[in-house]
Each structure stands twice: as structure tokens, then as C-alpha cells.
Amino acid sequence: MDFSLSTEEREVRDWVRTFVQRELMPLEPEVLRRERRNEPGLTSDELAALQLKAKESGFWGVQTPEEYGGMGLSAVMTALLEAELGRTFVPFRFGGAADNILFHANDEQKERYLLPTIAGERKSCFAITEPGAGSDAKNIRTSARKDGADWIINGEKTFITGGNEADFAMVFAVTDPAKGAAGGVTCFLVDRDMGWKSEPIDTMGEWGPASLVFDEVRVPESQILGEEGRGFALAMQWIGRGRYLLPARAIGSCERLISMAIEHANTRETFGAPIATRQAIQWMIADSGVELEALRWLVLHAAWQVDSGMDSRHAQSIAKLYGGIKANEIVDRVLQIHGGMGYTRELPIERWYRELRLLRIYEGTDEIQRRTIARNLLKGHVKIGGALG
């Protein structure tokens, strides 16, 4: 068993680490100031300029296949890279990416949606959640009825990331109520100018999702992504594209947070000695270090299963569940170690505290991950001995 990185993995990891240190971390004070004023941390022009800078070194379309101009990196490499990006709260992501399900587009749709999205000219959003259907996504009510050669969409979507900025939405609607999710849900590509409206939703995080309203929105048959009735499988493919990626980012955040806690514990004195000499503080540091280490290997193991072509869903659910819970416990301890300062807005800890909370909710809540993990174990879909048998 070899836990070391290959030369290529190390080089990619080191390049991103340097990029984060040189280009992103210096922006942190300004990002915080802007966010405190309720402005975006980075303007879209600033983000585009940073993405271009990364592109000059070849970092573009991290998981986009090479035939589309991307890097086509493995899951393990992507996880390593996400962990590096997680070391800063500057809201950066590499350019050249597109939703995995857009690769199911036909040639004409690829020209209009996939390629402009990869080029950064168009923005997409993924819209399945509704006011009455979140965890229970099979219960969606948004409908599409046939009218001649067109479809008429009616319904409301909620909590849609990027929904207020998107040029087009990938919308999941019921086209055959009798079949429901088993063959009666279809995915439509719907341009904003086809008539849907969006409204931002204020959240405790620094970026807000949106609600989308479809009121008799008419779309031609050619807007169906994939096949009529096969939309639910596409939705599951989008959600399952990389559950390991969310906790991967949390690895970097936890590394940075624990480093802050160590530095503070070694320098802050109370009752004549650094707080690092107190067992209460040492145990918080120890538990955080152990959990971070466990998280790192759960994430990399799930990514390795993806690269090996194995059914990685169980491993990914474990990594997502553990990452959400432990990252929240770690940021809470780090805040505690900083005392009153941890609670202020002078330090970014409270910002991470709010951001990491989302990890336990979106793309499958803790409870839904546990439901999946328990079902796999109780029904014998996976062995209790793990991937080694």
C-alpha cells in the first residue's frame, strides 16, 4: 500500500498551493471588507482575471476532458487541488468548467450551451429543489405539458445556486405524472429570456442562492437535455458528480483553521503561561488533528475509488457526512480557542463557521447520507470490511 503522491500529483498540488499563497491570500483582507459591506468578495472581472492568470499556467477546465480544452484531471488530483483552494476563503474557482450533464447535450445544444459555458461566456444553474421537494427530490411538482411542438413549464424552484446570475437553467419538470421519477421527469435547457424570473434568497453564507419562477414558460422540443422522461437519472448524475469534492475543500479550510489555533494557543498567555500548556486546549488541538487526518484519507479514498472505476457512492457518502460534521466541530473548537476574538468579525473564523455549516445541508443532508449508508449496510450492498473486503 502506497500513500505517497506521484511526481505529477505533487507538482500540481504545489503549483496550486503557490497560486493560493501568492494570488489569493493577499486578497483576503479586501474580500472580508467587501463582504462586510454586503458586496461580493470578488467582482466577476476580478475572478475572470485570476482565472486567466491560472490559465496561462495551464490551469483551466480541471475536470473538463482534454478534447474540450480542459485538463481532464483525475479525481484524486482534483481532490488535492480543491483542498488547496479551501485554504483560503477568497471565492475563487478555476475557469473552463461545465456541469457534467451538459456533456449529454446533442451537437446543436453543445454549440449553444456546453461550449459557451466552458468558455465562461454563459452561466448555468441546476434547478431541481422546490419548496415542497428537497431531500425527497422525487416529489417535484414543476410540470411541463406538451403544446404542439413546444412544452409549457409551470412551477417554482428554490435554493438554486447561481440562479440569479444564470443565463440558462437546467430545469427538471414532470412530463408524465403517472411515471414520476421512474421515467416521467425531463430535463429542459431554459434560457432566461424564455421567460423565467429569479429572486435572490438571503442566507447566513456570503453567497445566496435564488428562487426561480416558471409561469407558462414556452420552450421548444429541442430544449430537452438527453431524452424525454430520463431527467431524474441526469439529476442524480449531477448530484453524484463528486460528493468527495465538497469535503475535499473543507480539508484545506480545516488545515488553515487548525494552524491559526496552534499559533494562537502558543502565543496567548493566561495565568502566566501560554494556553497551549493547558490540557483542555491540547485536547481540542489533538481531536481536530485526528479528525482532519481521518477526513483527508476518507476523501482521497473515495476519489481513488472514482478513478478506479469502482462504485464509489458509499465511500463518497461517508466522506461527505464525516467532512460536514467534523469540519463544523473543528471550526467551532478553533473559534473557542480564540476566545472573544474568535467571535469577532476582525478574524475570518466566524466567516468559515457560517460557510462550513452549509456542508451539512446541500447536496444531500447529513440525515440523507446516513440513510444511504445505513441502507447499503443493512441490505448488504456493501461489506462492513470496506473496499478491501
Ligand X SMILES: Cc1cc2nc3c(=O)[nH]c(=O)nc-3n(C[C@H](O)[C@H](O)[C@H](O)COP(=O)(O)OP(=O)(O)OC[C@H]3O[C@@H](n4cnc5c(N)ncnc54)[C@H](O)[C@@H]3O)c2cc1C
List of residues contacting ligand X (CB under 6 A): 126-129, 134-136, 159-161, 203, 209, 358, 361-363, 365, 367-368, 371
Q: CA distances (Å), 224 to each of 104, 105, 143, 165, 221, in order?
A: 11, 9, 14, 22, 6
Nearer CB in complex with ligand X: 276/368: 368
Q: How far is the CB of 363 from ligand X (least distance, A)?
A: 6
Nearer CB in complex with ligand X: 134/184: 134
Taking the CB of residue 191, how many other CB atoms lie within 10 A of it? 17
Three cell numbers at 115?
A: 461550449
What is the amino acid identity at position 21? Q
All residues at 6 or more sequence positions from 133 whose CB lies less than 8 Å from its CB, including other chains: 139, 140, 141
Nearer CB in complex with ligand X: 65/205: 205
Q: How far is the CB of 213 from ligand X (least distance, A)?
A: 15
Q: Environment class of residue 366 by beta-carbon count within 10 Å: exposed (0-12), middle (13-18) or buried (19+)?
A: middle
Task: Give the nearest residue (CB) to ligand X.
Answer: 134
Three cell numbers at 213?
A: 419562477
Nearer CB in complex with ligand X: 337/368: 368
Strand pairing report for 143-147 and 185-191: unpaired
Q: How far is the CB of 172 from ligand X (least distance, A)?
A: 8
**What's the CA gap between 311 and 314, in Å, rounded?**
8
What is the amino acid identity at position 229? G
Nearer CB in complex with ligand X: 313/338: 313
Q: How far is the CB of 273 from ligand X (least distance, A)?
A: 43
**What's the CA gap between 236 and 243, in Å, rounded?**
11
Which H or E run contains 171? strand 168-174
Longest dimension (CA), the chain: 81
Query: Computed over its alpha carbons, how large is the radius of gyration of the chain?
Result: 22
Nearer CB in complex with ligand X: 170/248: 170
Which residues have a catalytic role annotated? 363
**What's the CA gap between 34 and 36, in Å, rounded?**
5
Three cell numbers at 27?
A: 486578497
Q: How far is the CB of 215 from ligand X (least distance, A)?
A: 19
**What's the CA gap between 384 and 376, in Å, rounded?**
10
Q: How far is the CB of 229 from ligand X (least distance, A)?
A: 19
Whether the CB-CB separation of 96 and 114 falls below 8 Å is answered with no
